[in-house]
Structures are given as structure tokens and as C-alpha cells.
Amino acid sequence: MKFHKEIIFLGDIVNYSLKGLTAALGKGEGITKFVRPISYHIDMDSKLSNLIEAIAATNLLRNGDVIVIPSKVISILEKRFVYGLTTENYQRCINDINFARKILKVPDKDPIIKRDQIGLDKIDPKKGIGVRYPKDPNFSCYTIAKNIKDKLGVRVDVVISDSDSGSTKGIALIGCPTIIATPIGATKGLRLFYCMRVAIAAETTWNNIENIPILLVQPPQNYAVRIRKNIGELRYKGFLNAKREKDIISILEKK
């Protein structure tokens, strides 16, 4: 029996997604053997150094671990604020790009693009304050990984995840369908399928525990994946992009 390459691709997405889900339910294996929530208080004045301190204070990190952080946390730390986003106009802003561009003010002067529109999130709707996606999620991940290595001497991968997912949103964000959550940025040590896996483990965990904005994903201590190549290195600039991922390309280019 022969299957179309797109069916094989979607099968892999489902497979890795389900492994992330089972990890969040306490039945993890391999790279997602253990998932450990990390509590971290964040407000509009928080800085990246506060995040690094919170992660370091756990004394849990080991070489080869993966840290998953919601895009909203990174957006706040990087001050990717938008002004004028309220409960009343939110739905129109996420559905009408011209309205969003007209009504929302951005201090950094970067124009609001379609991808930003997907990622709009309310922070303080009474004051009209919201956030959009990090400008360069892959670089944000690299910066966090480098800070951790400099502070603790530990090499970790970092993934930025967002709850927006599905076929339409997944393709718009990273070029392929996603389930439950979409990894929008990552360092170089994880293949895209594994980024999906840890993102789903994180999203499912966050949905069950209040005030947990960080997830530490840990393979077993002696697991070979801990010594994978390129841990914590810069992947490429921008968002994750399925068209630039070797494991995805190898599937879709099969004849």
C-alpha cells in the first residue's frame, strides 16, 4: 500500500503531537520523559534577566534539557506592546487587518502584519494594552539559551510556543498544520517535530495549572538525546518555517 507524502507528513505531526500530550498526562517517554512546571511572576516591567533568574533558581537544569515558554511571556519581556486593544474591539482586530492597523498604536513603529494579527493578546483591556508576537522568536530562544549557558554553564534548547494552532493558523505561522499548540521559535538542537512535541506537552500542562508560564522538559539522565548536536545554537532568523526544516523537506520531497 502506498500513501501520499502529505498523508505521511500529517501522520508524523499527529504522532509527535500525541507523544507531547501523553507527556503532559504523566506518561512521557524519550525527550519528554519528565515535564516540570516552573512558576514565574511576570508584569509589564519584567525583564529577561528576571526570567533567567527564575529558571536558574530551580537548580533543576541539566545539559540537554528543553525550556518551553509561551509567546505572550516573551512578548511582554521584549515590550512588544500594542495600545488600543480592548475587549470590545478584540474580535474585529484579529479578523480585520486594516481595522487593526488603524486602531492599534505600536511604540516600536514596526507595522502590524497578518502574523501579528493572529498573535494579538490582551494584557490589560481596561487600559487598552495588548501584545503581539515577538519580532524574531528564533533569536529570542537563542538569547535565552545563551544567557542560561553563560550563567549556569548548562546547554539547553529553548522553544517559544503559542496556543494558536490548527491547519490555517499553523500554516500561516510556520508553514504547516499544527495541533493544540504551535512552536513559533526554537534553538537549533530540536527537529521541528520535536518542537511540536514539547510545545504540546507545555500547552496541555499550562491548561491544567494556574500561573505556570514556563515548562522544563527533561529526558532521562542517561538518554542519548541529551548529547544531540547544536543544542542552544541559533537556528535561523525569524519564525520557525517548515520549508527550511530538513526533516520536513525530506518527507515532502520523496517521490
Q: Do the beta carbons of residue 105 and residue 83 sit within 8 Å?
A: yes
Confidence of residue 91 (pLDDT cuts 50, 70, 90): very high
Question: Is 127:44 a contact under the CB 8 Å cutoff?
Answer: no
Q: Which CATH number fits domain 5-76+135-252: 3.30.2040.10, 1.10.8.10, 3.10.400.10, 3.30.1330.100?
A: 3.30.1330.100
Among 85-94, 99-108, 202-211, name the one with the lowest average pLDDT.
Answer: 202-211
Domain with CATH 3.30.1330.100 in the chain: 5-76+135-252
pLDDT over threshold 60, residue 85: yes
The model carries a pTM of 0.93
- Bridge-partner residues for 122, per DSSP? 130
Q: What confidence score (pLDDT) does residue 228 get?
A: 84
Average pLDDT over residues 94-123: 92
